[in-house]
Chains A and B, each alone.
Chain A
C-alpha cells in the first residue's frame, strides 16, 4: 500500500527504447547484456578543436520514415523523432490504442526542447541593432530563417505532438529537470494513475544533444570525458580513471496503467512501479552534494512511497555518469540507504555502455531495469579496470550477471540538484 493510503497499483504494460545500442528495447538490452559500448567518434558535425569529440549517436537508419511522424519530424526535431519510435514500440506492446476512453490516457514527457541551432546562434549577430539591443522584427522576417526552430525549442510542443499521434487526450505535460526529467516524467505519470487522475499514461524522456551547441555547452562546463584511450572506454563509472561523462542521445518510453485496468482488458503486465521519490540537493548547481543526502532522500522517498524497507532492495540501477564527484556522492547515498548491505546489493551503471542521454536517461534506465527483472539479468558496468575504493559497491564489473531480483531502484539525478528515484518491481502474475 502506498504512503498515501491508496491501494491502486500501477503496472507497466509496454515499453520501448531507441538508444545508441539498439533500435528497440530488445536489441538495446541484448547488446547491453553483452557489455557492448555504443560510444564512438562523432561524425555528424565537425568536432575539430573541441576537447571532447566522442558521443553516442543513434544511426539515422534507425529512424524510419514513418508517415505518422512527419509532423513530429517537421516541428519536433530529432529528439521527438527518437521519442516517437520509442513511444510507438511501447504503445504497440501495450495495445494502447485499444483503450476506449482516450481522455483517461495521459502523456508525460521529460524533454528540454531542441538546442538552439548554430545558425540560430550566429544569426543573432545579424539582428544586433548596434546599440546593445536586438532587432526582433528583423529576426522574425529574415529570409531563410527556420521559424519552426521556435516550435522545436518549446518542450510542450513535443508533448502535444506525441499526444496527437498516440491519441492521449488526458493530462499532458512536460518536465524539464535535466538528467532527472525522464524518470520524473514516469514518476509523475505513476502518481497520476495511482491518484485516479487517469487510467493509463504514455511516459518517458528523450534528448538529442549530440550536436554542436549541446556538446559545446557541456564542454564549457568541463563536464565531459576528455582523457580516454578509445571512445568505447571513455565512460567508466566507478572506475578510478573516470574523468567525465559522454554525451549521448536516445529515448525511452513506458506505458503505465492501473493494474486493475490492465487486467480488465487482458493487457500483459511487464512489471510494476512500486514507488517514486524525488528531492532537491539544494547544494551547488554544478556539483552533487558530497554526502549524497539529496540522492538518499530520493531513494528513501521511493521506498517509503512503495511501503517497503531498504532490506528488500535487490538491485540499484545507478545514475552514475562517470564524473569524479557524482559517482562518489551516489555511492555514499547508497551506503547510507542500505547500510551494511550496500556492498552486497548489485549496483550497475548503464551509462558505461550507453553514455548519458540527459533527459532520456532516466526513462531508458527504467526500461532496462524492468527487462532485467523480467529476465533475471543484471546489466554490467563496463570499463571497470580499477574500482574506485571510495565507492565500495558491487558494481557488477564488465559482465552481466544472471540473478533473480524482484525489487529495484532506478536513480536519476539532474544537473542543478534535482533527484528522482523509481522503485520498480517484477510482476509475477
Chain B
C-alpha cells in the first residue's frame, strides 16, 4: 500500500480564537467573528465589516520589535500557529533535524505600511499636491529603510521559518486561497517522497486594512454592488508527516491527505468541477463517500461562488450529495489563511466527528435539499472536501480522510 501523508499537528489563529481549541469551541458555540471595524482601520469603506484577529503579541512570541515590523501581522500569526501545530504534533527540536524540516506556505498580498512612508510623503507635500522634485531629490530618504523587506512577502516567511527551525525544502505561493492547498500538496509530496521528515504547510491572510478593503472592493466591482466587503484574517499551520514515520514515533494522525486537484480557466464552473473530479480520482473515492464539502465561497456571487455550487450540484446528485459547509459567514474571506483554517476545520471534523452547526448554514439553503449536517454525523463522516479559489480563477480541491 502506498505511503500516505498524514496531519499530526494543527495550529490556528483566527478571529474566533488564538488556537485551534478556542476557535473550535467558538464554532461549537455558534459565534461569528464578523462585525463592524472599529477605529480608523476601515478607511471609511461602508459598511466596513470584517473579522480581525486580536494580536498577535510579538513580544510574547519572542520576536524583537525590528523583526516584528518586517514580519508584519500575517507572518506573526503564522509563527504563532506554527508553534501550536508543532507542540500539538509533539515535535521538539530534538525530534527532527532542521534541514529535514520542509516548509511550504501561502501568503496574501503585502501592502506598503503607511507609517513607513508617511514622513516621506508629508515632507514632499505642498498645499496643491506633491512636490515631486523634492520627493525624488531627498524626501525618499525618510522612508523606513526596511520598508523593502516588508514589501517582499517571502521575507516574513523566512523569519518565521527561522524561528520554527525549518531549513529544508521551502516555497511561498501567493496570493490566493488556492495557494494554500498547493502548499499542503507540496508538503505531502515532500514527506511521502522522503525529501523531508516533517513538513509544515501554512496559509496566512493579508491584514485587514484600508488598502486591502479597497482592493477587495475593486476586485468585486460589478459583482457585488452593495459594496459589502467581509474580509477576514487568519493563519493556520499543519504538521505533515509520512504515516509510517508518524506511527513510528507514536504520533497520533489527526487526518490523512487523500487526494487533490487543481483547475483553472473559464468557465469557472468547469474549473471547479475539474478540481473536484481530480481530487476524487486521486483519492480513489466514489462520490457517495464524501460526507461534506467546505466551500471556497459563501454563495453570494454567481460568477465565482455560484459556479462552484453548480459544479458540486452537478457532481453529486440528490442521493449522494454531501453537506455543504462554509466558514466564511463566521470568519470572513481570509484568502490563504482562510483556506488553511478550513483545512484545520476539515481535520477536526474528520478526527472528532463533532458538528459545529454554524458551518452547516449553507445546507439549509441548498435548493437540492442535500443531507443536513446532523444526518451526516449520525452516519459517520469519513471524507471531507476542502475547496479554495483565487479571485483570478485558480481553483483547488482537497480530500481529507479520517485517519483510522
Please list the residues of chain A having a beta carbon within 8 angstroms of any beta carbon in chain B.
3-5, 46, 48-49, 102-103, 107, 112-113, 116, 118, 120-122, 124-125, 127-129, 131-140, 147, 150-151, 153-157, 159-160, 163-164, 168-178, 184, 188, 191, 195, 197, 212, 216-218, 220-221, 277-283, 285-286, 294, 297, 301, 305, 414-418
Residue in contact with B171 in the complex, picked from A118, A153, A184, A220, CB distance below 8 Å: A184
Query: Known: A122-B130, A281-B167, A301-B169. Is A3-B194 also a contact (CB below 8 A)?
Result: yes
Whether A134 lies near B169 (C-beta < 8 A) is no
Whether A136 lies near B264 (C-beta < 8 A) is no
Whether A4 lies near B70 (C-beta < 8 A) is no
Within 8 A of A (CB), among B154-191: 154-155, 157-159, 161-162, 165-176, 178-179, 182, 186, 189
B209 on the A face (CB < 8 A) = yes
Query: Known: A135-B43, A138-B44, A170-B262. Is A176-B153 also a contact (CB below 8 A)?
Result: yes
B245 on the A face (CB < 8 A) = no
Whether A46 lies near B136 (C-beta < 8 A) is yes
B121 on the A face (CB < 8 A) = yes
Contacts of B152 in A (CB 8 A): 112, 176, 178, 415-416
Contacts of A46 in B (CB 8 A): 136
Contacts of B148 in A (CB 8 A): 216-218, 220-221
Other contacts beyond A121-B117, A277-B169: 6, CB < 8 A: A122-B130, A124-B117, A164-B266, A172-B262, A177-B154, A280-B166
Interface range, B side: 35 or more
What's the minimum C-beta distance from A303 to chain B, rounded to whole angstroms? 13
Query: Known: A160-B393, A170-B264, A280-B167. Is A286-B149 also a contact (CB below 8 A)?
Result: yes
Q: Given the complex of chains A and B, what is the CA–CA distance between A107 and B182 in angstroms?
A: 13
Whether B195 lies near A156 (C-beta < 8 A) is no
Whether A150 lies near B215 (C-beta < 8 A) is yes
Whether B173 lies near A159 (C-beta < 8 A) is no
What's the minimum C-beta distance from B25 to chain A, rounded to whole angstroms? 33
Residue in contact with B135 in the complex, picked from A118, A150, A155, A297, CB distance below 8 Å: A118
Q: Who on chain B is nearest to A212 by CB?
A: B136
Whether A153 lies near B109 (C-beta < 8 A) is yes
Task: Please choose the segment from B139-147, B284-292, B315-323 that sits at the chain A interface, where 4 or more of its residues have CB less than 8 A away.
Answer: B139-147
Whether B112 lies near A121 (C-beta < 8 A) is yes
Residue in contact with B168 in the complex, picked from A127, A150, A173, A280, CB distance below 8 Å: A280
B364 on the A face (CB < 8 A) = no
Query: Known: A122-B121, A172-B394, A294-B167. Is A48-B155 also a contact (CB below 8 A)?
Result: no
Residue in contact with B124 in the complex, picked from A122, A153, A218, CB distance below 8 Å: A122
13 contacts between A and B (CB under 8 A): A49-B138, A124-B114, A125-B118, A128-B114, A129-B43, A134-B114, A135-B210, A139-B210, A217-B147, A221-B146, A285-B149, A417-B162, A418-B171
What's the minimum C-beta distance from B170 to chain A, rounded to whole angstroms? 5
Contacts of A124 in B (CB 8 A): 112, 114, 117-118, 121
How many inter-chain residue pairs (CB < 8 Å) link A and B? 249
Secondary structure class of chain A's binding surface, majority of residues: mixed
Q: Given the complex of chains A and B, what is the CA–CA distance between A48 and B103 in angstroms?
A: 42
Query: Known: A170-B262, A218-B148, A416-B154. Is A156-B117 also a contact (CB below 8 A)?
Result: no
B313 on the A face (CB < 8 A) = no
What's the minimum C-beta distance from B196 to chain A, rounded to whole angstroms? 10
Contacts of B173 in A (CB 8 A): 173-176
Q: Given the complex of chains A and B, what is the CA–CA distance between A149 and B149 in angstroms?
A: 20
Q: Who on chain B is nearest to A300 by CB?
A: B99
Whether A221 lies near B149 (C-beta < 8 A) is yes
Interface string of B104-118 (1 = CB under 8 A from A): 000101001010011
Q: Who on chain B is nearest to A49 by CB?
A: B137
Residue in contact with B137 in the complex, picked from A48, A135, A136, A218, CB distance below 8 Å: A48
Whether A4 lies near B195 (C-beta < 8 A) is yes
B46 on the A face (CB < 8 A) = yes
Contacts of B70 in A (CB 8 A): 285
B94 on the A face (CB < 8 A) = no
B15 on the A face (CB < 8 A) = no
What's the minimum C-beta distance from B230 to chain A, rounded to whole angstroms? 15
Q: Given the complex of chains A and B, what is the CA–CA distance between A83 and B125 in angstroms?
A: 36
Q: Who on chain A is nearest to B67 by CB?
A: A285
Whether A176 lies near B43 (C-beta < 8 A) is no
B219 on the A face (CB < 8 A) = yes
B26 on the A face (CB < 8 A) = no
Contacts of B135 in A (CB 8 A): 118, 122
Which one of B103, B121, B214 has the greatest number of beta carbons of chain A within 10 Å?
B214
Which one of B39, B99, B124, B194 has the greatest number of beta carbons of chain A within 10 Å?
B99
Whether A220 lies near B189 (C-beta < 8 A) is no
